[in-house]
Amino acid sequence: MKVVVIYSGGMDSFTVLHKAVRDGHDVLAVSFNYGQRHSKELDYAQRVCRTLGVTHDIVDITAMQTLMSNSSLMANSSDDIPEGHYAADNMKSTVVPNRNMILISLAIGYAVNEGAQQVWYGAHSGDHTIYPDCRPEFVEAMQKVSLLANFDPVEVVAPYLYGDKISILKDGLAMGLDYGDTWTCYNGREKACGKCGSCVERLEAFELNHASDPLEYEA
């Protein structure tokens, strides 16, 4: 089967990409520069796809940041990146309004264009509280809309929708994946900050899997 994987360069989508490849699918990877605070993860994505021999497109949709500057993840935001666990209310500032609907819609259009039957992305249960567009109801609704929107039906697949980052990492470690090839930190500095929600959750996943994170951290 031909599938499009939305690939951010982070550890969740990294695992999803390798899962699709190892399941024997014909994989097309697509990444989006949507005006996020930094594009370091896109460099990681590019290198990984080159190593895997996977067709990879980076799509420039940075114009959307002019409409969504309230998210602390956007390059034009004046807000600091919040620190701490995703359960904290301050993490809601990292929500980019309607982001996954936009990215999935573009990926579905790409899938139709390329004759792909599915679009995969890395939503998981750890994101359900803070990010509405990672919840099962959203995925189910996007699936229904996708099947109606084109003459060629495209499924929306979130392989880890009911798992969490701990189980994603466990799966990836079982596949022998090197997570030094991923970038998770919301800050784009030389080393990962170790304090933002994304870093905190990543470090917890490694600890609970009794594994060491190969990335270097500031703290």
Give per-10-residue mean pLDDT for the chain (219 aa): 96 97 98 83 96 97 75 54 57 67 94 98 73 85 93 94 93 98 90 89 95 92
Q: CA-CA distance, 167 to 208, in Å (whole number)?
A: 10
Number of Cβ within 10 Å of residue 113's Cβ equals 11
| Structural domains present in the chain | 2-79+95-165 (3.40.50.620)
Q: Tokens representing 20? A: 């699709």
* Residue 30 CB-half CA count within 13 A: 25
The string of pLDDT tens digits covering residues 126-171 is 654 667 878 889 999 999 999 999 999 999 999 999 999 999 999 9
Q: Cβ distance 98 to 70 under 8 Å?
A: no
3-state secondary structure 28-66: EEEEEECCECCCHHHHHHHHHHHHHCCEEEEEECHHHHH
pTM, whole model, 2 decimals? 0.89
Q: CA-CA distance, 67 to 77, in Å (whole number)?
A: 11
